[in-house]
Chains A and B, each alone.
Chain A
């Protein structure tokens, strides 16, 4: 596809998601109490968007991932939250 075709097909969708993301960050700001590691993980991963290579989706996913390799001693619960809280 040409860049023009990609823009024709996806620009409005990307614009919509960008404004939603901005509104989400505003909503968090207006909230009360402390945020947690998910907000800083999201803010960290936003930096990938200004990268120069077409590896942004991969970089965002890696930023949000557990980078360790040691199996957990026990499965605590079944769910995942979308961002790695860190080693502690």
Chain B
């Protein structure tokens, strides 16, 4: 088995996780900028984090032979402070040329507030000006439906954005169609309690087809499972999916979306 982990917050994980992922067939990991569990107080904190995502973490992953890519932004959970967000967005262009940066993400909404919306619009503008791919976080639990609708409208209102260059993450049964019908890609996050269980993710693939969907563990410092993708692949096999069909979802689909950024290249792209 081979797979791509398209959404993992590896700065929060141990080297044991890297070893387990590579052992299970992980061929690349992509790390969106995330909330640290506390609010960073200055733009300098973000500068150091972006250095970690684009310099230190790729080196750590390389020790296990794993290509590491990243996405940059100020996370929606820290977007209530618009002035700080403006400062952080101001330093991102200085990092966009780094070799492992795939685009702007994970941007989006958390509590669906006006300030979060403003910062989302600023990020979408940044992505458009620099022709970057976009990775979007949708809110949690009861806020997801509303947040997804608001996000989709913000993206549609910027005519420079091509829908197929945007992946809307953390979709569930009530939001997946909204996302796919707009021409975007959807991401299903495999979490122990919230978001999707492996069985539900495979249900969504059965119902919606696997053309523009990927799966991720979104492993971070909270309850999450770095091996959620290979475990879900096992679920697919138990349900009669062929090895080729599983490979299409967990390996080829992420490559199809991510390859829209020319920097996403895997050294040994073989079976």
| A interface residues (Cβ-Cβ under 8 A, vs B) | 1, 5, 9-10, 13, 57-58, 61-62, 64-69, 71-84
Q: Is the CB of B80 within 8 A of A80?
A: no
Residues of B within 8 A of A79 (CB): 140
Q: Is the CB of B144 within 8 A of A65?
A: yes
Contact of A78 among B110, B142, B144, B239 (CB under 8 A): B110
What 1/0 flags go to B167-208 for Cβ under 8 Å of A? Answer: 000001110000000000000000000100001100100000
Within 8 A of A (CB), among B56-95: 77, 79-80
B52 at the interface (CB under 8 A from A): no
Q: Is the CB of A65 within 8 A of B174?
A: yes
* Shortest Cβ gap from B173 to chain A (Å): 4
Work out how many contacts link A and B, with CB atoms closer than 8 A.
83
B108 at the interface (CB under 8 A from A): no
Cα distance A23–B149 when bound, in Å? 36
Q: Which of B97-105, B112-120, B226-234, B245-253 contacts A (4 or more CB under 8 A)?
A: B112-120
Q: Is the CB of A71 within 8 A of B149?
A: no
B146 at the interface (CB under 8 A from A): yes
Identify the interface centre among A1, A61, A82: most chain B CB within 10 Å of its CB. A61
Residues of A within 8 A of B139 (CB): 80
Known: A61-B173, A61-B174. A75 touches B142 (CB 8 A): no
Interchain residue pairs with CB less than 8 A apart (10) = A57-B200, A66-B112, A67-B145, A71-B112, A74-B115, A75-B110, A75-B116, A76-B111, A79-B140, A80-B139
